[in-house]
Amino acid sequence: MKAITVEPKKVGTARFEEIPEPNAGEGSILVEAVAVGVCGTDAEIVEGKYGWAPPGKRRLVLGHESLGRVIDPGASRSLKKGDLVVGIVRRPDPVPCPNCAVGEWDMCRNGRYTERGIKEIDGFMSERWRIEPEYVMKIDPSLGILGVLIEPMTVITKALEQVVTIGQRSFWEPKSALVTGAGPIGLLAAFRLSLLELEVHVLDRAEGGPKPELVRALGATYHTGSVLDLTFEPDIIVECTGAGPVIADSIHKVGEGGILCLAGVGSGGIATRAVGDVAAAAVLKNNVIVGSVNANKRHWYKASKGLARADRKWLGRLITRREKPEHFNQALERKPDDIKVVIQFSEV
Ligand SMILES: [Zn+2]
């Protein structure tokens, strides 16, 4: 079968090539790939900056935002041939740490977890893949190709669960939420927040393209420019850019008793505010700054239910490009109006 593989930490090694059929040891369920979403992590792996091959191997099959169709349900008692499924990305560490031991591998304490398509397990960018019954999620068939958005939705499902959990530390009646960054994660966050009784705002650099209209279609308000220029202090900020200045401004802008959830990963940035001043603002306003990554099985379940509630037409507009596997290089390229690009292996 054909797969998109890469030699991690080596730039220029990605290729679409013939590899053996998936090993039965990878799980009793055999799946035909329908589509795989592409994100910044895939680009980083291809650029040689990130990623680990499976033990004893030099190459890694790329891809973690999966959608597939069951060929053989194997040991699963709930799946049948033809069901649309997605594969959970992370696996618990082998020790396991206390969090992995109770199924909270998203909160792994020793960093020895593994991840399909990223860290030591082959991913989903192959014509066929195998998976264990406990790590597969059947999706609402009416989602079709949109099921490929479930993985990014799990990330936001966990992040918002963190926000709500932290909110319960005191009497809390949030009225406004701000999402910074209108990429797939930011737009899905805005969608999820729009289901709550909240005034939702989204801030992004893009002045044109599809983003402003996608935000307005949710009944939310679209902003460009600086967080500091907003005329309100958000009770919740979901930060999806990972950009230093946006994070610094968000810490300053979040309202009294507010929660800033950091869901974007970036690097560098020049501090424009003294750390002591940032801390003082957080103390005097009882603010919480929380980081959130990955998702466990509960979030996958909630994400697939949540996504099924979205307007299909709106969701469909998030997938701005579909590329064939042999054109994976084009899929990894960022174009100005891209939101989510997917590599399509077969028709849904
Ligand atoms: Zn762990």
pLDDT confidence of residue 275: 83
- pLDDT classification of 84: cutoffs 50, 70, 90: very high
Kindly give, in sequence order, each residue whose CB lies less than 8 Å from that of residue 103, ignoring residues fewer than 6 positions away. 92, 296, 297
CA 111 – ligand 1 centroid, Å: 6
CA 204 – ligand 1 centroid, Å: 35
Structure confidence by residue, pLDDT tens digits, 3-41: 999 999 999 999 999 999 999 999 999 999 999 999 999
Q: For the residues 102-123, what does the mean pLDDT come to?
A: 98
Q: What number of other Cβ atoms are within 10 A of residue 206's Cβ?
A: 15
Asked whether the bond before 234 is cis by omega within 30 degrees of 0, the reply is no
CA 230 – ligand 1 centroid, Å: 40
Please answer whether residues 185 and 237 qualify as being in contact, where contact means their C-beta atoms are separated by less than 8 angstroms: no
CA 295 – ligand 1 centroid, Å: 13
C-alpha 29/C-alpha 76 separation (Å) is 7
> What tokens appear for 237 in the block?
């900020």
CA 95 – ligand 1 centroid, Å: 7
Asked whether the bond before 96 is cis by omega within 30 degrees of 0, the reply is yes
Nearest residue to 218 via CA among 146, 318, 139? 318
Structure confidence by residue, pLDDT tens digits, 312-331: 999 999 999 999 999 999 99
Percent of the chain whose pLDDT exceeds 70: 99
CA 214 – ligand 1 centroid, Å: 38
CA 100 – ligand 1 centroid, Å: 4
pLDDT: which is higher, 248 or 176: 176
CA 292 – ligand 1 centroid, Å: 15
- pLDDT classification of 273: cutoffs 50, 70, 90: confident
CA 68 – ligand 1 centroid, Å: 27
Q: Taking all residues of the chain, what is their mean pLDDT, rounded to a whole number?
A: 96
pLDDT confidence of residue 156: 97
CA 93 – ligand 1 centroid, Å: 5
User: How many residues belong to the chain?
Assistant: 348
Q: For the residues 62-75, what does the mean pLDDT come to?
A: 98
Q: For the residues 201-219, what does the mean pLDDT come to?
A: 97
Q: Indicate if the pLDDT at residue 271 is higher than 70.
A: no
Q: Indicate if the pLDDT at residue 202 is higher than 90.
A: yes
C-alpha 276/C-alpha 261 separation (Å) is 20
The percent of the chain in helix, strand and coil, each rounded to the nearest 5, is 30, 25, 45
Structure confidence by residue, pLDDT tens digits, 228-243: 999 999 999 999 999 9
pLDDT confidence of residue 11: 95
pLDDT confidence of residue 108: 98
Can you tell me whether residue 5 is helix, strand or coil?
strand
CA 278 – ligand 1 centroid, Å: 32
Percent of the chain whose pLDDT exceeds 90: 93
Can you tell me whether residue 262 is helix, strand or coil?
strand
